[in-house]
Amino acid sequence: FEKYIPFKQINLPDRQWPNNTITKAPIWCSVDLRDGNQALVDPMNLEEKLEFFHALCDMGFKEIEIGFPSASETEYEICRELIENNHIPDDVTIQVLVQAREHLIRKTFEAVKGAKNVIVHFYNSTSTLQRKVVFKTDMDGVIKIAVDGAKLIKQLTDEYDGDTNFRFEYSPESFSGTEPENAVEICDRVIEALGSTAENKLIVNLPNTVEMCTPNTYADQIEYFVRNLKHRDAAIISIHPHNDRGCGVAAGELALLAGAERVEGTLFGNGERTGNMDIVTMGLNMFTQGVDPKLDFSNLPKLREIYERCTNMKIDPRQPYIGELVFTAFSGSHQDAINKGMKYMKESGTDYWEIPYLPIDPADVGREYEPIIRINSQSGKGGAAFVMNNNFGYDLPKRMHPEFSKLVQAKCEELGRELIPKELFEVFEKNYLEH
């Protein structure tokens, strides 16, 4: 990440703005195995969940929401398998989700028995709309559900006879649809009921359960919350953006700037409806601004393979950083600029990544240079020459470029598609080597 020059430094060294940028990684929590999994047509089976869990650990996640063990036998069994067969590294905390309801909380405590580190994540919905339409209750009713849940959790922890290191997380679900002062009040009341302190903080998770407004509005809600929470020192402020308006990452980034410290999301944005916030995009956005994301993205193709197999979902060719086409330039002027950038990097010996049209070095995410330049009928002179040099070692003289490029374009038009490098070489061979 050190080879990337932050935007602020490169373009605005003497300006006052942007006056706030992300300068360090948040605490990450993957919710792939819960929010991601619950949104799959066919949820992951035990083997798939285990494989995914290990991949998340290998990437460096220290907090992983593994499921909702009180919701079904399958979820319960997966939780037990992880604990009983020692799948969980000592420095990883498993997180389990539960509604703030007595029998579910009790079952959750059974499910996590014997684990080393656990976050019990309980929630109830607090929004104006859900109070009116779903629960037919007022704010006092909603506060009571949360506080009763917190009291029971405290009691079960006090009675627990094991070595588990318990931490707690509370989500006022649909936070962004809740009146800000009500969201603050319910979280303060939960902190009091649990007895959370600066030494033993409550993770207060503020979901954008349905992304309903612009990213700056969510960030304003986070800022208001951070400024007004009475027991601020007893809380870790966590965010949980969804992506209904396609702005999950933007909302998450602004929320971090507004004071959040922890981020929940999924790989490649899997999750309910349009998904959860994509941690790969947010992490690599930091990386390309010279900030260590504290997660290992160096082999994205392998992650993609595991993700696609376990979730049965396909990654879009334009998905940031990992889509098949995101390091590909078809346009002639882009190809030319990339070529020049590569040449500049070689000749100048610069320590920085300075290639136009490529915001990241593909090698940093385990991808190749080879597909960067692809040749179709819109490609310019430089592209065909680049492939001849890069793939076949022929440094074509400049004056040959226009003619060769015309021959290549004609071949593309004849076939009605792009050329692979071998076909490009055949054009060269036919026209220049066979005479």
Residues at the binding site for Mg(2+) are 35, 240, 242, 276
Distance CA 205, CA 235 (A): 10
Rg (CA), the chain: 26
Contacting residue, 123, 268, 287, 386, with ligand KIV by CB under 6 A: 123
- HSE on the CB side for 166, CA within 13 Å? 21
Write down the H helix ranges in 117-276. Answer: 128-130, 139-159, 180-194, 215-228, 248-257
Cβ proximity to Zn ion: between 35 and 185 the closer is 35
Q: Does 173 bind ligand KIV (CB under 6 A)?
A: yes
Q: Give min distance, CB of 241 to Zn ion, in A.
A: 9
- Number of residues lying near ligand KIV (CB under 6 A): 10
Q: Give min distance, CB of 421 to ligand KIV, in A.
A: 46
Distance CA 124, CA 149 (A): 9
Return the closest-CA partner of residue 270 out of 7, 48, 9: 48
The number of residues in the chain equals 435
Cβ proximity to ligand KIV: between 35 and 336 the closer is 35
* Burial class for 52, CB neighbours closer than 10 Å (0-12, 13-18, 19+): buried
Return the closest-CA partner of residue 123 out of 206, 230, 185: 206
Q: What residues from 181 to 210 belong to the interface with ligand KIV (CB under 6 A)?
A: 205, 207, 209
Contacting residue, 32, 33, 35, 120, with ligand KIV by CB under 6 A: 35
Q: Binding segment for Zn ion among 33-41, 345-353, 379-387, 416-424 (CB under 5 A)?
A: 33-41
Q: Which residue has the tokens 């903080």?
A: 201
Cβ proximity to ligand KIV: between 108 and 409 the closer is 108
Q: Which of the choices ligand KIV, Zn ion, none does residue 32 contact, using the CB cut-off of 5 to 8 A by kind?
A: none
Q: Which of the choices Zn ion, ligand KIV, none does residue 171 contact, using the CB cut-off of 5 to 8 A by kind?
A: ligand KIV
Q: Does 336 bind ligand KIV (CB under 6 A)?
A: no
Q: Binding segment for Zn ion among 28-36, 76-84, 333-341, 349-357 (CB under 5 A)?
A: 28-36
Cβ proximity to ligand KIV: between 275 and 283 the closer is 275
Element (H, E) at 110: helix 102-111
Contacting residue, 171, 176, 289, 335, with ligand KIV by CB under 6 A: 171
Q: Does 409 bind ligand KIV (CB under 6 A)?
A: no
Under 8 Å CB-to-CB from 255, ≥6 apart: which residues?
206, 215, 218, 219, 222, 239, 241
- Number of residues lying near Zn ion (CB under 5 A): 1
Task: Report DSSP letters for 234-278, one per residue.
Answer: GEEEEEEEB-TTS-HHHHHHHHHHTT--EEEEBGGG-SSTT-B-B
Q: What residues from 86 to 105 belong to the interface with ligand KIV (CB under 6 A)?
A: 97
Q: Give min distance, CB of 244 to Zn ion, in A.
A: 11
Instruction: Point out the annotated binding site.
Output: 35, 240, 242, 276
Q: Give min distance, CB of 276 to ligand KIV, in A.
A: 7
Q: Which residue has the tokens 């082999």?
A: 299
Contacting residue, 35, 48, 173, 211, with Zn ion by CB under 5 A: 35
Cβ proximity to ligand KIV: between 8 and 101 the closer is 101
Cβ proximity to ligand KIV: between 220 and 244 the closer is 244
Chain-centroid distance of CA 312 in Å reads: 18
Q: Which residue has the tokens 């696609």?
A: 308
Distance CA 335, CA 222 (A): 42
Query: Which residue's Cβ lies closest to Zn ion?
Result: 35
Which residues of this protein are in contact with Zn ion, per CB under 5 A?
A: 35
Which residues of this protein are in contact with ligand KIV, per CB under 6 A?
A: 35, 97, 123, 171, 173, 205, 207, 209, 240, 242
